[in-house]
Amino acid sequence: MSGIKLVLKSGKDQSLMRYHPWIFSGAIKKIYGDPREGDVVDVYDNKDNFLATGYYQPGSIAVRVMDFEKRELDKEFYHERISAAIEYRKKSGVLSMPGTNAYRLVHGEGDGLPGLIADYYDGVLVLQFHSLGIYREKDTVCSVLRSLLGTDLRAIYNKSETTLPFKADTGAENGYLYGSADPGIVSEYGYKFRIDWVNGQKTGFFIDQRENRRLLQEYSEGKKVLNLFGYTGGFSVYAMKNAARVDTVDISEKAVRLAEENVELNFPGDRRHSGVTADAFKYLDNTAAGEYDLVILDPPAFAKHNNVLHNALQGYKRLNMKAIQQLKPGGIIFTFSCSQVVSRDNFRKSVFAAAANTGRKVRILHQLSQPADHPVNIYHPESEYLKGLVIYVE
User: Which residues lie near ligand SAH (CB under 6 A)?
Assistant: 206, 209, 229-232, 234-235, 249-252, 255, 279-280, 298-300
- Name which of 59 and 300 has its Cβ closer to ligand SAH: 300
Minimum CB separation from ligand SAH for residue 301, in Å? Answer: 9
Euclidean distance between CA atoms 337 and 297, whole angstroms = 9
Minimum CB separation from ligand SAH for residue 300, in Å? Answer: 4
- Name which of 78 and 302 has its Cβ closer to ligand SAH: 302
- Name which of 259 and 324 has its Cβ closer to ligand SAH: 259
- AA identity, residue 182: D
- Name which of 258 and 362 has its Cβ closer to ligand SAH: 258
Minimum CB separation from ligand SAH for residue 208, in Å? Answer: 8
Minimum CB separation from ligand SAH for residue 213, in Å? Answer: 7
Spatial CA neighbour of 192 closest among 153, 232, 146, 242: 232
- Name which of 207 and 362 has its Cβ closer to ligand SAH: 207
Euclidean distance between CA atoms 205 and 28, whole angstroms = 38
- Name which of 249 and 391 has its Cβ closer to ligand SAH: 249
Euclidean distance between CA atoms 111 and 374, whole angstroms = 9
Minimum CB separation from ligand SAH for residue 250, in Å? Answer: 5
Minimum CB separation from ligand SAH for residue 246, in Å? Answer: 13
